[in-house]
Structure formats: structure tokens, C-alpha cells
């Protein structure tokens, strides 16, 4: 009876901790705009509320199901404006092709983010192939944690008839306990040194997901935005389990945030 009560108490504690997690999505380094059907300029690409293929609404719903609260940050990050954040996500920082006046990651941004991570924050950095992401400044942040997004192209996929070229096996990977095969196309590989470790490699042996401990916190790097709606909404070929992988990744990040407190 005492054991059963202890287990119930532990589960209730984990549930309460998960519900307290705020997941902050960067809207500052990634701030793309386009004209909508009415001809007006509007934000798009990797937004929580964006239900089109380019959005993160499904990933956001996955975090919400895990008990987390969604938020966004449209200004430069500081240890102060991140202090109530458990997980901070930076996705695909803008190039001038995407934004004529991009907010590049600056040395002060690196120090502020690192200060927050060191106190227990979980930082998720999601890059892209080098033609579609601003890597030089993004790498100043990655370097702080022993990582480097390489200027290469892994898992190149020509079209929907060649989905298998983007296949990555995840069977047996502890971060992805329920997913066996994922789709991650046109990604950059990640170089590692110091505390950084490989989390997932592709069939070429290139690291495409990595992690590093930094103080009390954790940094996770992924070579692609990967889990935007287009690739978790059921349009992939049978056998790909990006939806399960999204849930696995979310659970891992939330548990890291809880453990880092």
C-alpha cells in the first residue's frame, strides 16, 4: 500500500511539474513575412498558431498535451525575459533572403542565453540546410555548447517519390522509444566537441541530432526544423513515424526541464 501511494505521489508530482513548464518559441531571430491572400503582409513560418504546412501548430499541440504552456518571444532573449521559461526553441534564423533586416544572433545574445541555460534551461536549436538558414551567427551560439552546424546537405530528397532518401532509423534510440523510422530531409550535420554528444546519426554516420549539458541546463541541436506541420500531418509514406517522434522528443525535453530544476 505504501509503495502504491509512493508511486501515485511520484506520478502526480511529475504531472504537476510538466504542467508548470513554459515552452518559449523564438519569433525574433526567425521573423519571416509574406503577403496573404488579401495582399497584406503577415508573419509566417514556424509559428505556434500557424495551421498551414509551414507552421508548428501540431508540435505546439503535442507540447500542450504534455501539460506545457506555449509562449513566444519577439524580442532579443535575455536571462530576465527567459527566467520563467523551461524550454526555449530557436528555429531557422533568418537570412536576408527571408528577411531584408534580419536579427542576427549577437555575442550578447549568446551570453544571455548561456546564462539562462546554465541555471537549468533547456535550449532547442533547430537549423536547416545551409541554403535556407543563417548559419554563421547561429554557430556562435552552437559553439558555446561544443556544437557546429556544418555547411552540408544530408538526406537530400528530390520529391515525394523519393521519401526513403530522407529516412532515418530510430529503433532502439532511447530518445525515441516509440518511433522506429523518421523522415528528416535536406538537413545539415552537426560537428561535436567538448561536452557535446551525438543523439541520432543518419545512415551515413553523420550526427543530425546532438545534445550537451551546460551547467544545470541542457542544449539540444537538430539539423532541420523537421517537425513542422508538413511532416507530422499524415502526408508521409506509410512506415514513417514523425508523429510518434514528435511526441517522444517533446516528452524528452519536458523531462529534461523537470530534471534540470
Q: What is the pLDDT of residues 205-236, one digit of tens each?
A: 999 999 999 999 999 999 999 999 999 999 99
Burial of 89 (0-12, 13-18, 19+ CB in 10 A): buried
38 pLDDT tier (thresholds 50, 70, 90): confident
| Cβ burial 129-162 (10 Å sphere, 16+ → b, else e) | bbebbbbebbbebbbbbbbbbbeeebbebeeeee
Residues in the chain: 261
User: What are the residues whose beta carbons fall under 8 Å from the beta carbon of 37, sequence distance 6 or more?
Assistant: none
261 pLDDT tier (thresholds 50, 70, 90): confident
**In angstroms, what is the C-alpha Rg of the chain?**
18
Tell me the three cell numbers of residue 103.
Answer: 536579427
User: Average model confidence (pLDDT) for the chain?
Assistant: 92
Residue 70 to residues 73, 90, 206, 234, Cα–Cα distance (Å)? 11, 14, 32, 23
Residue 13 to residue 5: CA distance in whole angstroms: 12
Q: So what's the pLDDT on residue 20?
A: 67
pLDDT single digits (tens) 101-133: 999 999 999 999 999 999 999 999 999 998 889
Amino acid at each position: 500500500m505504501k509503495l502504491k501511494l509512493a508511486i501515485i505521489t511520484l506520478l502526480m508530482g511529475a504531472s504537476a511539474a510538466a504542467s508548470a513548464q513554459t515552452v518559449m518559441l523564438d519569433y525574433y531571430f526567425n521573423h519571416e513575412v509574406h503577403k496573404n491572400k488579401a495582399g497584406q503582409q503577415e508573419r509566417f513560418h514556424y509559428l505556434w498558431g500557424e495551421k498551414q504546412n509551414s507552421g508548428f501548430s501540431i508540435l505546439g499541440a503535442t507540447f500542450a498535451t504534455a501539460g506545457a504552456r506555449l509562449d513566444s518571444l519577439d524580442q532579443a532573449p535575455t536571462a530576465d525575459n527567459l527566467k520563467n521559461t523551461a524550454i526555449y526553441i530557436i528555429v531557422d534564423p533568418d537570412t536576408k533572403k527571408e528577411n531584408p533586416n534580419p536579427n542576427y544572433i549577437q555575442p550578447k545574445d549568446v551570453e544571455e542565453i548561456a546564462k539562462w541555460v546554465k541555471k537549468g534551461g533547456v535550449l532547442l536549436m533547430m537549423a536547416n540546410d545551409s541554403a535556407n538558414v543563417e548559419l554563421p551567427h547561429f554557430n556562435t551560439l552552437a559553439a558555446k555548447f561544443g556544437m557546429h552546424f556544418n555547411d552540408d546537405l544530408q538526406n537530400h530528397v528530390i520529391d515525394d517519390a523519393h521519401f526513403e532518401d530522407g529516412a532515418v532509423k530510430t529503433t532502439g534510440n532511447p530518445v525515441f522509444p516509440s518511433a522506429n523510422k523518421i523522415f528528416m530531409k535536406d538537413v545539415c550535420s552537426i560537428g561535436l566537441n567538448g561536452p557535446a554528444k551525438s543523439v541520432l546519426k543518419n545512415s551515413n554516420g553523420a550526427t543530425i541530432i546532438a545534445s550537451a549539458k551546460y551547467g544545470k541546463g541542457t542544449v539540444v541541436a537538430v539539423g532541420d526544423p523537421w517537425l513542422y506541420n508538413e511532416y507530422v500531418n499524415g502526408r508521409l509514406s506509410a512506415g514513417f513515424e514523425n508523429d510518434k517522434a514528435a511526441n517522444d522528443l517533446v516528452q524528452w525535453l519536458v523531462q529534461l526541464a523537470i530534471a534540470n530544476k
